[in-house]
Amino acid sequence: MSLSLKSLYRLLSLLLVVAAPAGAQSIRGFTTSGVAPQREWEARYQQIPDPMRQREYLRRLSARPHHVGSPYQRQNAEYMRDLFTSWGWDATLAEYHVLFPTPKVRRLELTAPTRYVAKLQEPSLKNDPATAFMAEQLPSYNAFSGDGDVSGPLVYVNYGVPADYDELEKRGISVRGAIVIARYGGSWRGIKPKVAFEHGAVGCIIYSDPRDDGYAQGDVYPNGPWRPKDGVQRGSVLDMPVAPGDPLTIGTGATPDAPRIDRKDATTIMKIPVLPISYEDAQPLLAAMGGPVAPESWRGALPITYRLGGSGPARVRLAVEHDWKLTPAFNVIATLKGSAAPDEWIVRGNHIDGWVNGAQDPIAGMAAELEEARALGELARQGWRPKRTIVYAGWDAEEPALLGSTEWVEHHAPELRQKAVAYINTDGNGRGFLGAGGSHSLERFINEVAREVRDPETGLTVWQRLQAQTIRNGSPQAKREARERGDLRIGALGSGSDYTPFIQHLGIASLNLGFGGEDGGGIYHSIYDTPRWYETFSDSNYVYGRALSQVVGLAVMRLASADVLPYQFTNLAETLRGYAGEVKVLRDELSARAAETNRMLDDGVIAATEDPRAPLKPPAREALVPYLNFAPLDNAIEAFGRAASGYERSLGSALQRAPDGAALTRANAMLRDTERQFSSPEGLPRRPWYKHLLYAPGLYTGYGVKTLPGVREAIEQKDWDTVAREVTRLAQAIDRAATHVAAISAVLEGK
Amino acid sequence: MSLSLKSLYRLLSLLLVVAAPAGAQSIRGFTTSGVAPQREWEARYQQIPDPMRQREYLRRLSARPHHVGSPYQRQNAEYMRDLFTSWGWDATLAEYHVLFPTPKVRRLELTAPTRYVAKLQEPSLKNDPATAFMAEQLPSYNAFSGDGDVSGPLVYVNYGVPADYDELEKRGISVRGAIVIARYGGSWRGIKPKVAFEHGAVGCIIYSDPRDDGYAQGDVYPNGPWRPKDGVQRGSVLDMPVAPGDPLTIGTGATPDAPRIDRKDATTIMKIPVLPISYEDAQPLLAAMGGPVAPESWRGALPITYRLGGSGPARVRLAVEHDWKLTPAFNVIATLKGSAAPDEWIVRGNHIDGWVNGAQDPIAGMAAELEEARALGELARQGWRPKRTIVYAGWDAEEPALLGSTEWVEHHAPELRQKAVAYINTDGNGRGFLGAGGSHSLERFINEVAREVRDPETGLTVWQRLQAQTIRNGSPQAKREARERGDLRIGALGSGSDYTPFIQHLGIASLNLGFGGEDGGGIYHSIYDTPRWYETFSDSNYVYGRALSQVVGLAVMRLASADVLPYQFTNLAETLRGYAGEVKVLRDELSARAAETNRMLDDGVIAATEDPRAPLKPPAREALVPYLNFAPLDNAIEAFGRAASGYERSLGSALQRAPDGAALTRANAMLRDTERQFSSPEGLPRRPWYKHLLYAPGLYTGYGVKTLPGVREAIEQKDWDTVAREVTRLAQAIDRAATHVAAISAVLEGK
């Protein structure tokens, strides 16, 4: 510890003066008389989660490889089910039969100008026994790669996002018929083969450059946290921005007897073979390439000249073949029934499958979840009675395609639509600062919760430490807001973890939580994500595991027992105004860029600056960008803002009055449905599985969120007709939500 | 060529419409009747410079090593003197005896944790015979390094500028008693040992990282233009921002019998041993270092984890010893006497010594100068009679410390102060775009000249191509100005070449010119800067050499024959307004930063975001930055702006009237002295040799210019008393210049 107690208390008092809301003793959603007993139970709760138990869970669950379908995973699921049961929960395993390809053939060879056969093997380490179970380890591969045996010239495509192909095109390089090599980073990995395929490539190699998570960052494992030369990042390349879950049962639960389409008709499986490799295997390939030198920002930390390749001399052969079998996945589902509103569900989950041993990802998060469950079970034994039903889940088969959560959500969709109040997700954990993303109707709520939990390194609240971090390292705007705005902003959710089916498919308000920012590393999805790595380089004493149990547990307890569900809508309205501003700026920027490109072409600036020894293809003339009608969106957001302010007034007086039970029940039922107002039955353009009109993963960013996705992506694609339609649809949804929130206010006011 | 003729003409016409000034046929400074004959001579001139002759000069002059004092350099000087003589010039060698240290001992060893003895040797290449003269080559070293044999732990200091030491201090790393290793780049090399010494280091190693000019950029020599693994950048580390030239004769010419101080009293010689090394020699040293991982922007392209070092385990021994001898330097000085105003001199120079063979640096520029001289001699034979005297110089011993030019300027200071109208410098040449820096009183003038010469790659004028380049790649402000402002901006001059004694010591209006931007490379100051390198990777056909001869020759001809010297002052006034704005912004930024740092300390933000496993030293509380009185500066600039506008009116009518000769003579004498008004006899704070109050190299940037240096550096150092004094001094100088310019207007108006 580098801080003296005295300075800590000084900090604490200073920050509290700045940051504490008026009436710090109130709790959002609780009547005045309900606050004291809730605080009493919360205080008891916070004492229970135990770092040493989290260590025990993590060491147990990550001792051996435990991917979906593996024997150890089955044992883990049963072990956790039994733990839940022992703590008083009603626990079962929910079984689905999911398509889970595993590799039969993996071969990568440089065939010209010299020969090199890629090793494709991560060696075990003597001083980390968890890496020794080679027979149980999944080899390094990308799940839902296509099968194929292809040969071609090699082209380096940087991160492999669409903008990278623009740079290649300028230099006259096509990937048609080629095998691309992309580095990890810059986008979700599944985007890389998808975009490569769309540009005509026949295969895709993805490697981890040491600049990004290898020796350039620091010592490599086992001496340091970073990726060793043979380390490989496994991972899914299913087209999840179109639909996650089993590609044979999109939209329905993959129960053993579910109807399934033929695999050849599955749209989300990659069409070309894809293989992830280490930087030791990548270096001979990259070093053999010819063609123009790669742009400066494309260059990694290998001691070579990074080149774009293309016509030669480097050629490779890539062969990948899979066993396309159905595999049983076992979600752990544990329930603590609500006393007053058992049909209102608070759902909380973390996945339980790892690509290999998966200590950090996902078990560090599941260990926290287990301690929450033990603590809540203990409170229940002491007499605590949550009003609502609490459902704790351990999702299997998250890694290949969010399979466990998606199939369960699709399977129980009608019930969840009716009952689910909120979903809280974690996916691993680390050391540092609270990271929170989710529905902005829960922004105020999670800010309040974060003010209750202590950061283990400083003794400040996790809210205060996050505020300080934003002030110190944020953009000028983020810095100003962190100082002046009552709540710290939470990010919107794209994809990449199990909240996706809840929020994006069903419109259930969701949060994703975890600590991080002080623990870098390069063991992600490799055999080196082990208890030894985690305890040496991340949350060594599991104190951030305890903090995560405290944050999530408190959130669950408040959601489960609040008199009025603690949504809040003025923050959402303000956030929507910000998003609307962004899409307008996006249009203006596209417009200015098109005009500037055309002006430079007209004035001869492009031709005049050409280097005859390194000619670039001049940009094409661009169509002018029209002005667009955003008025319906602005009007709807204003209406929603008015309704949101009105709701705050109604709620305030209702909680002081303690309104009658029937009104509360009715209001809560309507509140639960508020997030659903932003869901559209038709879903988003080109991907009907995604229903939420405010948040989605980007079609070409993958995990990265696109807010107002229908509108924003249509602008990006310069599809002006779709923009007009999507503005209308979005405005209607926001108007609907405004009407709905106003109706809740009326109920609370007894009208 | 990638452009069709048709598209070129289209470009040309379009750009001309936008950019051509009204009355394109006029020439600044020439009476209406003087324009036609001048244009006739200029047209003849432009036909003469011959690329193949430039090739001949370059191959001859760069065939062998030719540093100051070497036998081949003496032969080169005589060869050039004889060429000038053969072309009708009055040519001599001007000899100075300058201190020129050469190494006797160079030893660098890693002594712990393992042993590595640096090779310190650049191998000859079979396919480049110019690299073969090992006995004549100066070994790789830094001239004016201290002597010493030191041992200590190694600390990596990035570029070794003051801000880098702030980062080290945050991480608790001191260089006291250590040997620092810095990479080339980020500042002039001499700053690195100077700042290291000021921080207590006992030795300094400077290496070329492959990220900056080695394999990361492209193929290395001889396969490509970039620095091979053994390539070393030689160079001076004399404290030239304090005073260039012979450190034993500061302020006076180093004639054989000049009084000299004792070497131990010389203030500009580095106090600690310094040695430049290759990246092959650097890698074992850097790889052996411990300590914290270097910040991301500090990391180069070697396949290692860059660390900061400090306490160990890496230790090195560095021993350097020099032969501190006086060496004869021979400037080539050639004169073409003026017909009407022989006591008004136009001086033009390029240096003639290389660190080794020096093909690109400096001979590519000297070859252009020689062709200018031949062409001007040819015109003279045809009857051309420049009004003013033209002095063409080839400076010896530029590389160690601008010795040849500085000693000549100091030696002839009274005469130059009286006679010099302008100095035009080049220092090598390359391929691409015209680069122009200099006195802003010559900005309009050099813009006009650049509109007369064709770019060899596009057929546009070099002005048009530079405009297009600025539009395409400039900052938003530069882009807007390139489109809308009549003249393209020229940069201010710092140091790094032979214009320094002219402009900064004597206040002679100067320009520095050259082509570049399309030819990167990593042979700077190594044995690989040869004719083969230059012809393979730079201006292969010497067509940019011809273009440089055309630009400089035209500038010389116009300066030499203008009826009224073609200075222009409204651009200077506008530029000064911009500089005044910059120093105000600098104050405001320092103020905001100090307030922000203190606020973060007061609010506990720094302590709250500390990572206990990687603690950083918190920043110190900062003193508040006071508001400063810039009013005298603003008032002076306004006065100068009014005088400058008035001068434009007076000049315009004078040139139409063709005023009487006596008035013109008087006006020209005063015009010649205008730049001198910005010179202060006392010079700048802490470096009296530098007299110009508008332009100087930065005390801690070296080559990089600081404009309004007295004011700007005092603000940077937060020395508020000095700021006040310097604002006053600067305002007085600008006021003096305003009065002076107004007086010239009066003369032109016959008052």
Residue of A nearest to B476 (CA): A596
Could you give the CA distance from residue B730 to residue B405 in angstroms, rounded to a whole number? Answer: 27
pLDDT at position B45 over 60? yes
Q: Roughly how many angstroms between the first and final C-alpha of chain A, as a whole number?
A: 56
- pLDDT computed for residue B294 by the predictor: 97
In this complex, is the C-beta atom of B690 within 8 Å of any C-beta atom belonging to chain A?
Answer: no
* Residue entry with tokens 């600062």: A433
| Shortest alpha-carbon distance between residue A489 and chain B (Å) | 18
- pLDDT computed for residue A6 by the predictor: 44
Residue B302 and residue A303: Cβ atoms within 8 Å?
yes
| Chains A & B: contacts with CB separation below 8 Å | 132
- pLDDT computed for residue B617 by the predictor: 92
In this complex, is the C-beta atom of A603 within 8 Å of any C-beta atom belonging to chain B?
Answer: yes
Residue B615 and residue A2: Cβ atoms within 8 Å?
yes
Rounded to whole angstroms, what are the CA distances from A654 to A254, A456, A661, A749? 44, 37, 11, 7
In this complex, is the C-beta atom of B18 within 8 Å of any C-beta atom belonging to chain A?
Answer: yes
Report which of A322, A106, A300 is spatially closest to residue A207, judged by C-alpha positions: A300
Q: State the average pLDDT over residues A42-59.
A: 98
pLDDT at position B312 over 50? yes
Residues 294-333 of A with CB under 8 A from B: 299, 301-306
CATH architecture of structural domain A5-98+327-561: 3-Layer(aba) Sandwich (3.40)
Residue A15 and residue B600: Cβ atoms within 8 Å?
no
Percentages helix, strand, coil for chain B (3-state, rounded to 5) are 45, 20, 40
- pLDDT computed for residue A3 by the predictor: 37
pLDDT 10s digits, A65-124 = 999 999 999 999 999 999 999 999 999 999 999 999 999 999 999 999 999 999 999 999
pLDDT at position A2 over 60? no
| Fold of the A100-323 domain | Glucose Oxidase; domain 1 (3.50.30)
Neighbours of B276 (CB within 10 A): 26
The three-state (H, E, C) secondary structure of A87-114, written as one string: CCCEEEEEEEEEEEEEEEEEEEEEEECC
The three-state (H, E, C) secondary structure of B186-234, written as one string: CCCCCHHHHHHHHCCCCEEEEECCHHHHCCCCCCECCCCCECCCCCCCC
pLDDT at position A25 over 90? no
> What does the block give as tokens for A375?
């603590």
Residue B468 and residue A609: Cβ atoms within 8 Å?
yes
- pLDDT computed for residue A7 by the predictor: 47
Q: Which of A405-414, A616-625, B398-407 has the lowest mean pLDDT?
A: A616-625
- Read off the pTM: 0.94
Q: State the average pLDDT over residues A598-620.
A: 94
Residue of A nearest to B469 (CA): A609
Contacts of B296 (CB under 8 A, 6+ apart): none
A362 cis-preceded (ω within 30 degrees of 0)? yes
pLDDT interval class at A615 (50, 70, 90): confident
In this complex, is the C-beta atom of A217 within 8 Å of any C-beta atom belonging to chain B?
Answer: yes
- pLDDT computed for residue A638 by the predictor: 98
β-strand pairing of B705-707 with B695-697: antiparallel
> What does the block give as tokens for A751?
């009208």
Go through chain A and tell me how many residues it has: 751
Residue A603 and residue B10: Cβ atoms within 8 Å?
no
Interface test with B, best of A286, A609, A610, A617 (most B CBs within 10 A): A609
**Looking at residue B559, what DSSP letter applies?**
H
pLDDT interval class at B703 (50, 70, 90): confident
Q: Which of A1-15, A215-229, A674-688, B64-78 has the lowest mean pLDDT?
A: A1-15
Residue B605 and residue A2: Cβ atoms within 8 Å?
no
Residue B218 and residue A7: Cβ atoms within 8 Å?
no
Do residues A701 and A187 lie in contact, with contact meaning Cβ atoms separated by under 8 Å? yes
User: Considering only CB atoms, which chain A residues are within 8 Å of B432?
Assistant: 611
B321: three-class secondary structure by DSSP: strand
Q: State the average pLDDT over residues A428-441.
A: 98
User: Considering only CB atoms, which chain A residues are within 8 Å of B15?
Assistant: 603-604, 608
pLDDT at position B428 over 70? yes
Residue B468 and residue A2: Cβ atoms within 8 Å?
no
Residues 410-449 of A with CB under 8 A from B: 432
Could you give the CA distance from residue A444 to residue B441 in angstroms, rounded to a whole number? Answer: 61
Residues 360-399 of A with CB under 8 A from B: none
Q: State the average pLDDT over residues A717-739.
A: 98
CATH fit for domain B5-98+327-430+450-518+526-561, picks 1.20.210.10, 3.40.630.10, 1.10.10.10, 3.30.70.3270? 3.40.630.10
> What does the block give as tokens for A19?
């940051």
In this complex, is the C-beta atom of A495 within 8 Å of any C-beta atom belonging to chain B?
Answer: no
pLDDT interval class at A369 (50, 70, 90): very high
- pLDDT computed for residue A392 by the predictor: 98
Domain spans, chain A: 5-98+327-561, 100-323, 570-748
pLDDT 10s digits, A450-468 = 999 999 999 999 999 999 9
Residue B306 and residue A216: Cβ atoms within 8 Å?
yes
- pLDDT computed for residue B628 by the predictor: 97
Average pLDDT, chain A: 95
CATH of domain B570-748: 1.20.930.40
> What does the block give as tokens for A90?
């009603």
- pLDDT computed for residue B702 by the predictor: 78
Contacts of B692 (CB under 8 A, 6+ apart): B503, B504, B507, B678, B679
In this complex, is the C-beta atom of B471 within 8 Å of any C-beta atom belonging to chain A?
Answer: yes
pLDDT at position B2 over 70? no
pLDDT 10s digits, B99-115 = 999 999 999 999 999 99
In this complex, is the C-beta atom of A686 within 8 Å of any C-beta atom belonging to chain B?
Answer: no
Average pLDDT, chain B: 95
| Shortest alpha-carbon distance between residue A515 and chain B (Å) | 13
The values of phi and psi at residue B242, to 5°, are: -90, -45
Instruction: Tell me if B100-323 shares its fold with B570-748.
Output: no
Rounded to whole angstroms, what are the CA distances from A743 to A474, A678, A738, A747, A748? 38, 16, 9, 6, 9
pLDDT interval class at A20 (50, 70, 90): very low
